[in-house]
Amino acid sequence: MDILRNKGQQSGPSARSARLVDLMELHFQDQLAALAYLRSQPFVDSKRIVVMGCSFGGIQTLLAAESAPDVRAAVDFAGGAESWQSSPDLRTRMIKAAQHARVPVLFIQAEGDYDLTPSHTLPKEMEKHGQRAQMKIYPSVGRTQQENHEFCVHGVVSWGRDVLTFINNISNPPR
């Protein structure tokens, strides 16, 4: 992939938007390599891999839900919250990933985060295309948007049980 495809052709916000998606796709190759390594380990049950990420990691998580092999489910914490409004290319790419997701995804965010739109939009896209998605917005946990964006790191006490319940329900779906 030529991540410099826009060099000399565009500048400003549209170039940054396209470049963000290019870099996400490039970083996704690292995620695929990490998943391949995990699958090669004797202590890993490749049928039980769940991916989870926060912010840009949440975007990566959604890409994994779309196309990573042997992923059972995904947990997206605030994926795209800081970039959704400023990057139309990223919005389009995330919506495409949600529409083509192959595994259930849990979207989590704290109320005071930068932008809740991805957590409201993407599960609806998944459900329109027949895929299981859940979304949970927790009350604000900080005074600033950044403190709320860091909910994935500092809010384990709040979200931990919900994530484990989601994973357990994926592993043992209701009858």
Contact 95, 63 (CB under 8 A): no
Instruction: Name the residue ranges covered by the structural domains of the chain.
Output: 13-171
pLDDT of residue 172: 62
Provide the strand spans (E) within the chain. 49-54, 71-77, 105-110, 133-138
Average pLDDT of the chain is 91
Element (H, E) at 143: none
Confidence of residue 17 (pLDDT cuts 50, 70, 90): confident
Residue closest to 65 by CA, chosen among 120, 21, 28: 28
Confidence of residue 110 (pLDDT cuts 50, 70, 90): very high
- Between CA 130 and CA 123 the distance in angstroms is 11
Residue closest to 68 by CA, chosen among 35, 40, 91: 35
What's the pTM value of the predicted model, to 2 decimals? 0.89
Instruction: Kindly state the average pLDDT of the residues 38-50.
Output: 93
CATH 3.40.50.1820 assigned to 13-171: yes
Instruction: DSSP letter for 139, please.
Output: P
Residue 121 has pLDDT above 60, yes or no: yes
Instruction: DSSP letter for 156, please.
Output: H
